Chains A and B, each alone.
Chain A
Amino acid sequence: MEKIFKFKINGKDVRLTSSPERMLLWVLRSDLEHTGTKYSCGEGFCGACTVLVNNEAVLSCQYPIQNVNGKEVITIEGLQKNGNLLPLQTSFIKHNALQCGFCTPGMILRAYSLLLKNPQPSYGEIVEAMEGNLCRCGSYDRIIQAIQTAALKMKGRVL
């Protein structure tokens, strides 16, 4: 039943034995102890577990490990470049775009995938992209502002 899977997490090679149907969320959180990716609804309704697989945002609680084989996963722990925060992260800080911070990793990764595809999104495009990520503290407006600020800052630059 168990198989060997090879993939990259935040640029590092991972080799791991697992049954293929296990979800990426739990492999990240319990096998690999990458706890920045959060468990909240567990059924794909809240976005707290969002990570990137080959630069596409996915819900890791619904994403079997067999689909990750040979791919590159990016989690919140892997966003800093040489210890420096991304403009998106500093924009979240500047706008105080979080309260309890539990949904924040998922928010940032969802926004990151949006900006990769669409570096200058309109307000409507931001809302559409972010709609599946829930924030119970009610920081939506500040998150939108943070994404807009990050988009402005990054004009002409790669993330």
Chain B
Amino acid sequence: MKYDEYNLIHSEKEVEPIKLNRREFLKLLGGGIIISFSVGDLFALQERRRSRGYPQDFNAYLRIGEDGRVSCFTGKIEMGQGIITSLAQMLAEELDVPLNTVDMVMGDTTLCPWDAGTFGSRSTKYFGPPLRQAAAEARAVLIQLAAEHLRTPKEKLMAKDGMIFVQKNPIKKISYAQLAKGKKIERHLTKKPPIKHYSKHTISGKPTDSLDSRQKVTGEAKFAGDIRLPGMLFARILRPPVHGAKLKSVDTSAAQKIKDIQIIQDEDMVAVLHKHRDVADKALRLIKAQFDMLEFKVDNNTIFKHLKDSAPDGSIVTKTGNLDEGKSLASKTFEAEYFNHYVAHAPTENHTAVVKIEGDKATVWASTQAPFRAQGEVARVLGFPSQNVRVITPFVGCGFGGKNQGQQIVEAARLAKLSGKPIQVAWSRKEEFFYDTFRPAAVIQIRSGLNRSNQIVFWEYHNYFAGNRSSQPFYNIPHHHVLSYGGWGGRGRTGRAHPFGVGAWRGPGSNTNVFAIESHIDIMAEAAGMNPLEFRMENLTDKRMQRVLIAAAEKFGRSFSKAPSGQGYGIACTDYLGTYLATMAEVNVDKKTGEIRVERVVCAQDTGEVINPEGVRMQIEGCITMGLGYVLTEEIRFRGGRILDENFDTYEIPRFSWQPKIETVLVDNPEMPPQGCGEPAITSMGGVVANAVYDAIGVRLFVLPMTPARLKEALKKEQNASREKNWSIPLSVS
């Protein structure tokens, strides 16, 4: 990570360490026995937590209870991406315990090792290795202990299903639970044991049903909003109508007449509290307020010009060769601009938090992707040391990067302090749309050229605010230059590039970049007189990319022709933080209504070693389905700082009737450590659909989302334009 993302992820301030005495710590853990524990270790453990890296001590990751059940501790959270299953598989595999004896303890700042947060498809890739190492060491220590207990050399022992046996006399055995029971073992290995080779795996790598689904089909699964505490009040907060507005005056007299209502006014915050959420809603509607508005004259129609005007100077992302030399080699040149609008995360579960304060300690239940960051934020706002704040993360109902910020958590903490009661803040859908950190609108300009052999000889890429992921070409281009003018969190030269919050959105940067790059590649393929698959294979030598393209093409089972062929077939391929994928799609376009129907999508993905093939497939399918939204309909409508979309009536996300037939291919690559899989497949959706639409009707759309209105307008332009092909596409957009 050397790009804009790095600063965002690492911008949190230092959080103080948790300090518990030994008794408190054991009490928190419940009845089980820590395998290896001493007071010295405990404090060393806390120190390691402070150091903001993953701890070395395996006790930070796992605990074997007296009942033989194994708790796995991780600062990661579960929001539907499936790590509750895949991390359990990794632990069970290395420790040699049955998968159904593993209990995941996730996102609890007191029990779990520190973690930066759950984003960027990083959980399996970066948390997986230390977890595996911890489990491998714990297993090796248990075997040493068993050797002493059974008076048998450890070489003659084997571990299986939480038991250690004498290989030649399996009646002689001892369970992990028995070894752990009542003992204080302070043993660690100086030489860390190796983790298992993938060929020996029996749990990891096997398709496994989600471990949390039973709880989720019975309603037992708890989300932050499901927390009920004695005396808890629901808070609703007065909001400005537009971003940047300041409260001028407020009249709460009508609201005060509601029975049992409590009204809190503190600095800029006005809130109503009631034991029933809907009564608090009603009270909030009765508050009259006036605001000083902030003028900000930009909207959906002017945003792209505004962004380019606000852009800082470009910085180089990557540079190879010499552009002038590349241009001199080109026989055909191409120039185009690509545009992407603001998109909401729209998680099914709204931002929610419950905060309870007792004396100088606070407990927080929150829908968050970053519990340790939330811990620091709550500590600061309450003036408590961090160790006095415990953040517990129940199940999270979608995140997609939208729950990295903890505004609702801080609000609940403030109100809990002011009211002296446990407080729940659960944003309404309107608040969700208002305070969302949208995927930024962005502009990409590309100039490129082909030589007479149809090789790409130069590539000039100007990126305004998309973010840099997936913007470096993986095609063989001797002379290329990628420039960035503000990343996905960038505020521009003026600091006001965006009229509201923007941030990471599933596959940040890449959705826009892959749309632009892969559209542009298809434009060149047509000019080269080649079909888009052939053109890609001719212009890249990356073996992993070739493999995913071939795998996708085999599954797709249709022949590409030079576009537009009328078939409606599209391709896009990309790499995303180490995961490679190729997507192929088949679309139908209704020229009369302007509607695009995606009929079928095939995605071949190489994500390195696969821990849970079923989980990877689910993520790819989810990416494809969710991706249809930003490709076809999703666009935040706004006027200045006013967000016009407030619910799912106007902001259309994919629904049942959109469902294309999806086929996934997991390209085998077990030698490579596991890469991320929660985001990659969503990033190719703009490119693959734009290319398929062009193949269907010969009209290319340069703006996402490709709404019926935009498609009809593009069709009209095409009909009016001269039939003569001009390879230089004008730098303009409707």
Instruction: Report A17 CB to chain B, min CB distance, Å.
Output: 12
A101→B655 contact, CB < 8 A: no
Give the residue of A26, A99, A140 whose beta carbon is less than 8 angstroms from that of B81: A99
Q: How far is A22 from B81 in the complex, measured between Cα atoms in Å?
A: 35
**Is B428 close to A, CB under 8 A?**
yes
* B621 lies within 8 A of A101 (CB): no
Please tell me if the beta carbons of A101 and B275 are within 8 angstroms of each other in the complex.
Answer: no
Residues of A within 8 A of B626 (CB): 136-138
Check: A121 CB closer than 8 A to any chain B CB: no
**A105/B219 in contact, CB under 8 A:** yes
In the assembly, what is the distance between CA of A104 and CA of B278, in Å?
23
Evaluate whether A140 and B218 lie within 8 angstroms (CB atoms) in the complex, with A26-B277, A92-B213, A100-B79 already known.
Answer: no
Whether A141 pairs with B426 at a CB distance below 8 angstroms is no
At the interface, yes or no: B497 with Cβ under 8 Å from chain A? no
Question: Residues 58-88 of chain B: 1 if any A CB is under 8 Å from the residue's CB, otherwise 0?
Answer: 0000000000000000000001111000000
Chain A residues, Cβ within 8 Å of B662: 141
Contact: A41 with B80, CB < 8 Å?
no
Give the residues in chain B near A31, CB-CB below 8 Å: 276
Q: Which residue on chain B has the smallest CB distance to residue A129? A: B656
| CB-based nearest B residue for A1 | B259
Which residues of chain B are near A122, meaning CB under 8 Å? Answer: none
Asked if B395 is at the interface of the complex by the 8 Å CB criterion, the answer is yes
Interchain CB contact under 8 A, A41 and B429 = yes
Q: Is B436 an interface residue (CB 8 A)?
A: no
Find the B residue at minimum CB distance from A135.
Answer: B348
* A76 interface residue (CB < 8 Å to B): yes
Given the complex, which residues of A lie within 8 Å of B647, measured CB to CB? Answer: 41-43, 45
With A102-B397, A136-B653 in contact, do A45 and B648 touch (Cβ < 8 Å)? yes
Q: Which residues of B contact A135 (CB under 8 A)?
A: 348
Q: Is B128 positioned at the interface, with any CB of A under 8 Å from its CB?
A: no
User: How far is B622's CA from A130's CA once the two chains are assembled, in angstroms?
Assistant: 17
Q: Which residues of chain B have C-beta atoms less than 8 A from A29's C-beta? A: 225, 277
A17 to B659 Cα, complex, angstroms: 44
**Contact with A40, one of B350, B649, B655 (Cβ below 8 angstroms):** B350
- Cα–Cα, bound, A104→B214 (Å): 11
Closest to A61 in B: B278
Q: Which of A23, A46, A105, A140 contacts B659 (CB 8 A)?
A: A140
Residue B272 is within 8 A (CB to CB) of chain A in the complex: no
A134 CA to B653 CA, complexed, in Å: 8
Check A93/B209 contact, CB under 8 A, given A98-B217, A100-B397: yes
| CB neighbours of B212 from chain A (8 A) | 101
Q: How far is the CA of A22 from the CA of B349 in the complex (A)?
A: 22
Question: Could you say which residues of chain B place their CB within 8 Å of the CB of A148?
Answer: none
Which of B278, B428, B618, B647 has most A Cβ within 10 Å? Answer: B278
On chain B, the residues within 8 Å of A77 by CB distance are 218-219
- Whether A59 sits at the interface, judged by CB under 8 Å, is no
CB of B381 closer than 8 Å to a CB of A: no
* Contact (Cβ within 8 A) B80 A137: yes
Q: Which of B277, B349, B428 has the most chain A CB within a 10 Å cutoff?
A: B349
Q: How far is the CB of A74 from chain B (nearest CB, A)?
A: 11
Distance A59 CA – B618 CA, assembled complex (angstroms): 28
- B residues within 8 A CB of A131? 655-657
Q: Is B223 part of the binding interface, using a Cβ–Cβ cutoff of 8 Å? A: yes
B interface residues, how many (CB within 8 angstroms): 59
B278 close to A23 (CB less than 8 A): yes
List of A residues within 8 angstroms of B222 by Cβ: 35
In the complex, which residues of chain B have a beta carbon less than 8 angstroms from the beta carbon of A105? 219
Minimum CB–CB distance for A137 against chain B, Å: 5
Question: B649-675: contact bitstring with A at CB < 8 Å (1 yes, 0 no)?
Answer: 100011111110010000000000000
Is B585 part of the binding interface, using a Cβ–Cβ cutoff of 8 Å? no
Residues from chain B with Cβ under 8 Å of A48 in the complex? 348
Minimum CB–CB distance for A26 against chain B, Å: 4
Are A136 and B277 neighbours in the complex by a CB distance under 8 Å? no
A90: nearest residue on chain B (CB-CB)?
Answer: B217
Contact A102–B622 (Cβ < 8 Å): no
A113 to B226 alpha-carbon distance, docked (Å): 25
Contact with A along B190-224 (1 / 0, CB 8 A): 00000000000000000001101111111111110
Q: Which of A30, A80, A93, A142 contacts B234 (CB 8 A)?
A: A30
Minimal Cβ-Cβ distance residue in A for B222: A35
8 Å CB interface, A102-152 against B: 102-105, 108, 126-127, 130-144
Q: Which of B396, B622, B649 contacts A139 (CB 8 A)?
A: B622
B659, A35: Cβ atoms under 8 Å? no
Residue A68, interface by CB 8 Å:
no
Residue pair B218, A80 in contact (C-beta under 8 Å): yes
Q: Name A102's closest neighbour in chain B (CB-CB).
A: B397
Cβ-based interface call for B389 (8 A): no
Most B CB within 10 A of own CB, among A22, A41, A133: A41
Pair B217/A85 contact, Cβ less than 8 Å: yes
Is the pair B210, A96 in contact by a Cβ cutoff of 8 Å?
yes
Instruction: Give chain A nearest CB distance to B427 CB in angstroms.
Output: 10
Question: Which A residues are CB-close (under 8 A) to B623?
Answer: 138
In chain A, residues 81-101, which have Cβ atoms closer than 8 Å to a Cβ of chain B? 85, 89, 92-94, 96, 98-101
* Complex Cα–Cα for A48 and B653 (A): 14
Smallest beta-carbon distance A133→chain B, Å? 7
Residues of B within 8 A of A127 (CB): 656-657, 659
Contact A138 B625 (CB under 8 A): yes
Q: A39-B426, A99-B82 are in contact. List 13 more A-B contacts (CB 8 A).
A: A22-B278, A33-B228, A46-B648, A96-B209, A99-B618, A103-B348, A104-B217, A134-B648, A134-B655, A136-B653, A138-B654, A139-B622, A142-B621
Chosen A-B contacts, 17 in total, with CB atoms closer than 8 Å, are: A36-B219, A36-B220, A43-B647, A76-B217, A76-B218, A85-B217, A96-B618, A99-B210, A100-B396, A101-B217, A104-B216, A136-B398, A137-B398, A138-B625, A140-B654, A140-B659, A142-B618
Which A-B residue pairs are the 10 nearest by beta carbons? A36-B219, A138-B625, A100-B80, A102-B397, A101-B216, A99-B80, A76-B219, A35-B226, A138-B622, A26-B278
Q: Which chain B residues have a beta carbon within 8 Å of chain A's beta carbons?
A: 79-82, 209-210, 212-223, 225-226, 228, 234, 275-279, 346-350, 395-398, 400, 426, 428-429, 614, 618, 621-626, 647-649, 653-659, 662
